[in-house]
């Protein structure tokens, strides 16, 4: 059974060796994430080349996702590196104090605008939700709070406000430089952190284009403003090529209780708007130190698969964990297991909606035919940009979609699409009347189909023309195919 849900794995020290990187790719990684919150430009460029080399050696196409840091708000540093905060105590965030002189009573902050973004009664959340405090008083340069949930707090830990409303721009100066690095290393996707509006994505796209990159843009949904405003969320999704349900900071802003419902809503809206969606953060957190996931983690990954996410993501599990290959293998098993459920094979996607584009009508028609016609074993999509297989992959199905393309950039891009497998295919070198037969021969060689099977083929009248898919044909393997 071909796995349909794709796996994104974050690179780091645990995967820096040639052997470890090759192992996670062999285990089933489809996309590798370069976390620009850590490491230098040279580190990322080197890792990107290692991925290309390792994937090529295995005959695989593995995409590169460059994940920008964004305006991660943090406390400064403590004189003793760590303090212990107790429930009920007073604690002050002071923009004027020495950034290296924090104590158990106060610490500096690197984002001074925070003072203008909060008021008494607001809840501040630190260290990914482990510590909470309520704002009691705000002065010109400091915020005095009362600790609600205490615990250890160390240098440079993240800082956020429950309910959102922080005014920090999504793209920092560092991000703008990192976009140039992403273009230089040939990233297939670039993720923008802490997106507030569709304009953030428009600015990022302009910067990418200026840097000479046509990478797909991923909007990380982690602000309460988007979780609670459907129109704003849809605008961001439509301005992007993909979205990521970034559950860490999102949960900090909206609270754990709302997270599951919001995750399902984001996945649903992304699919309805023909965009890719990634579900991320703490999916197999226990596997940082353990060779097996917990039952709760298995359920978490499986539920994302059943919600029809395109991809599930590993973060620290592969970047710094003790069992990176085992984490990928476990995720593969869970995805395949969840995909056996009948609910993942039938679809009512847009069944009552009209369409404006010919290629969209062909894509959806092909998938409905594939799902309802007996003996269909595969869908072949001749594609230049990957747009048609993307639309096909919005439809629930158990059948594999094969994106036949002559462009490596397209082959890399479609690795993120649920249910889509990429096949290098130089249609430009073939007479048009031989294209279908050669495509079927490719699947026969891969032992995907056999004589007597039906295969659905979509393409344009002019095979190598962008945006021209206007033909669907159903052929039987072993017959005279034209």
Cite the active site residues.
33, 74, 220, 281
The token pair that represents 462 in the structure block: 């002019």
Distance from C-alpha of 473 to C-alpha of 461, rounded to nearest angstrom: 12
- Angle (nearest 5°) at CA 88 between 82 and 94: 55
DSSP β-ladder status, 142-149 and 151-154: unpaired
What is the DSSP code (8-state) at residue 107?
Answer: E
Beta bridge partners of 458: 381, 472
For the beta carbon of residue 17, count every other beta carbon within 10 angstroms. 11
d(CA 144, CA 105) in angstroms, rounded, equals 10
Q: Measure Cα distances from 213 to 154, 171, 206, 209 in Å.
A: 38, 17, 10, 5
- Partner residues linked to 279 by β-bridges: 245, 312
Cα Rg, the chain, nearest whole Å: 24
| E strand map for 293-365 | 311-314
DSSP string, 416-431: GSTTEEEEE--GGGS-
Cα distance between residue 15 and residue 38, in whole Å: 14
Half-sphere exposure of 107 (CA within 13 A, CB side): 28
8 A C-beta contact, residue 128 and residue 252: yes
């Amino acid at each position: 059974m071909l796995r349909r849900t794709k796996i994104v794995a974050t690179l780091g020290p645990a995967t820096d060796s040639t052997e470890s990187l090759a192992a996670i790719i062999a285990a089933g990684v489809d996309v590798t994430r370069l976390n620009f919150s850590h490491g230098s430009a040279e580190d990322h460029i080197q890792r990107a080349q290692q991925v290309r080399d390792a994937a090529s050696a295995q005959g695989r196409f593995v995409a590169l996702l460059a994940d920008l840091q964004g305006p991660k708000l943090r406390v400064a540093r403590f004189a003793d590196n760590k303090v212990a905060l107790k429930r009920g105590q007073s604690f002050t965030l002071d923009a004027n104090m020495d950034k290296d002189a924090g104590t158990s009573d106060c610490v500096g902050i690197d984002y001074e605008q925070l003072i203008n973004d909060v008021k008494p009664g607001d809840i501040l959340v630190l260290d990914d939700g482990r510590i909470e405090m309520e704002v009691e008083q705000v002065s010109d340069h400091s915020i005095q709070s009362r600790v609600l949930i205490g615990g250890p707090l160390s240098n440079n830990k993240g800082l956020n406000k429950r309910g959102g409303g922080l005014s920090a721009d999504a793209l920092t100066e560092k991000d703008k430089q990192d976009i140039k690095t992403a273009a230089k290393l040939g990233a297939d996707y670039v993720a923008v952190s802490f997106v507030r509006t569709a304009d953030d994505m428009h600015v990022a796209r302009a910067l990418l284009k200026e840097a000479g990159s046509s990478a797909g843009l991923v909007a990380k949904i982690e602000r309460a403003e988007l979780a609670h405003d459907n129109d704003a969320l849809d605008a961001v999704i439509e301005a992007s090529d993909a979205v990521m349900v970034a559950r860490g900071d999102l949960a900090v802003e909206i609270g754990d209780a709302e997270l599951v419902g919001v995750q399902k809503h984001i996945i649903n809206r992304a699919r309805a708007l023909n965009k890719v969606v990634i579900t991320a953060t703490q999916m197999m957190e226990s596997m940082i130190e353990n060779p097996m996931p917990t039952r709760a983690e298995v359920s978490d990954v499986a539920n994302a698969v059943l919600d029809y996410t395109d991809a599930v993501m590993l973060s620290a599990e592969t970047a710094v964990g003790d069992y990176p290959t085992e984490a990928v293998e476990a995720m593969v098993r869970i995805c395949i297991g969840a995909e056996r459920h009948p609910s993942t094979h039938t679809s009512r996607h847009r069944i009552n909606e009209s369409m404006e584009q010919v290629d969209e009508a062909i894509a959806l028609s092909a998938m409905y035919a594939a799902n309802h016609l007996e003996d269909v074993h595969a869908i072949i999509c001749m594609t230049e940009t990957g747009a048609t297989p993307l639309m096909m992959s919005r439809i629930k199905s158990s059948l594999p979609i094969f994106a036949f393309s002559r462009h490596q950039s397209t082959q890399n891009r479609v690795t993120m699409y649920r249910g889509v497998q990429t096949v290098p295919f130089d249609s430009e070198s073939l007479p048009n009347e031989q294209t279908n037969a050669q495509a079927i021969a490719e699947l026969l060689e891969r032992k995907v189909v056999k004589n007597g099977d039906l295969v659905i083929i979509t393409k344009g009248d002019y095979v190598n023309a962008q945006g021209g898919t206007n033909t669907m044909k159903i052929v039987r393997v072993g017959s005279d195919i034209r």
